[in-house]
Amino acid sequence: MQIVKIIGGLGNQMFQYMFYCWLNQVHGNVKVDISEFKNYYQHNGIELENVFNINLRAIEAGYNDFVQIKDLKPLFKIRRKLGQLLFHNPNLFIKGTHFCAPLYCGYYPCLKNDNTDKYYDGYWQNEKYFDSVDIKSVFKWSNLSFATIECAKRMIEENSISVHIRRLDSVINFKHLLYFLRLRLVWRVASKSYYVRAIREMEKRVDNPVFYIFTDNILWVKHNIHLAENMIIVDWNRGNESNQDMYLMSQCKHNIISMSSFSWWGAWLNDNPDKIVISPKKWAPRFINSMDIIPDKWIKM
């Protein structure tokens, strides 16, 4: 029995689900653990179900599945909680009595040949895990709003460029204060200079570009990013409709992403064969090598 934990926001859920598909193709008899969503308030719940109509309940691990994995003992649970608190779920996999914390986004082909019982706890942010999966048929949006559909039509007609500006400073509720502090201490935030240089690079490479801005801090954008008439701030997708920003990013001709799995997927799902994607050279978290997450064809800046 192998179980893949699914947690986090939409982008991370997509990585974890692709990792599940990869494991299931190789080994079969793989299930998912979605139990922690019962007390998880940082994002919009199990968005794989709400956005893509993926039936996770049909592959959810039950009690009899968990008991097959002998290493899910109290000691492991304590270490796992410490890992969540300090490192925001680094990749963890269990084999026998051995506890490993490998590189954050590394690819481990050895897992193809290892069908022993495991509980996989991590994000698995590497495209090599889903190179044999038909992702476009898995991640299909439904219930798009009229505003999103109309915006997508304009993007297709223009030399549209998505710019995802993630500031991580929108969490002001005391209830989420520890979560906010952990984000600031552990995760990098792309600087103003990164966005300025990325935008200038796009202006050199693309004729008549139109920049579509996706952000969690509109005020910061207005004070720091100056693009005059060719800048459009996408500000209507909020709450349970925020996933539609990823769809719109995927409809742009080119992409400037932040240190975010959300905009990573927006760029990766972009079908333009000539797309230009600019990504931060250094990803997150601060103290772990995570270069494997960035595809070779993308520009690292």
Q: Considering the entire predicted model, what is its pTM? A: 0.85
- Compute the distance between CA of residue 122 and CA of residue 254 in angstroms, rounded to an integer: 29
Q: How confident is the model at residue 279 (pLDDT cuts 50, 70, 90)?
A: very high
List of residues 6+ apart from 103 with CB closer than 8 A? 91, 288, 289, 290, 292
- Compute the distance between CA of residue 280 and CA of residue 294 in angstroms, rounded to an integer: 9
With left for phi above 0 and alpha for psi between -120 and 50, is residue 89 left, alpha or beta?
Answer: left
* pLDDT computed for residue 76 by the predictor: 52
Cβ contact 125:136 at 8 Å: no
Token pair of 105 as six digits: 């986004």
Peptide bond into 74 cis (omega under 30): no
Q: State the Cα angle at 192 between 186 and 193, rounded to 5°.
A: 110
Q: How confident is the model at residue 159 (pLDDT cuts 50, 70, 90)?
A: very high
Q: What CATH number labels 144-300?
A: 3.40.50
Question: Which residues face 160 on adjacent strands?
Answer: 210
Cβ contact 255:232 at 8 Å: no
**Residue pLDDT, tens place only, 73-115:** 554 555 555 555 554 443 444 433 223 334 445 677 778 888 8
Specify the 3-state DSSP secondary structure of 287: coil
- Compute the distance between CA of residue 275 and CA of residue 272 in angstroms, rounded to an integer: 5
**Residue pLDDT, tens place only, 199-225:** 999 999 999 999 999 998 888 888 888
Q: State the Cα angle at 39 between 37 and 42, rounded to 5°.
A: 75
Give exposure, 75-93, as e/b (b: 16+ Cβ within 10 Å): ebeeebeebbeebbbbbbb
Over pLDDT 90: what percentage of the chain? 43
Q: How confident is the model at residue 255 (pLDDT cuts 50, 70, 90)?
A: very high
Over pLDDT 70: what percentage of the chain? 77
Token pair of 80 as six digits: 């796992």
More confident residue, 246 or 292: 246
Q: Give the strand order in the sheet containing 209-215.
A: 231-233, 209-215, 159-165, 254-256, 277-279, 299-300
* pLDDT computed for residue 211 by the predictor: 97
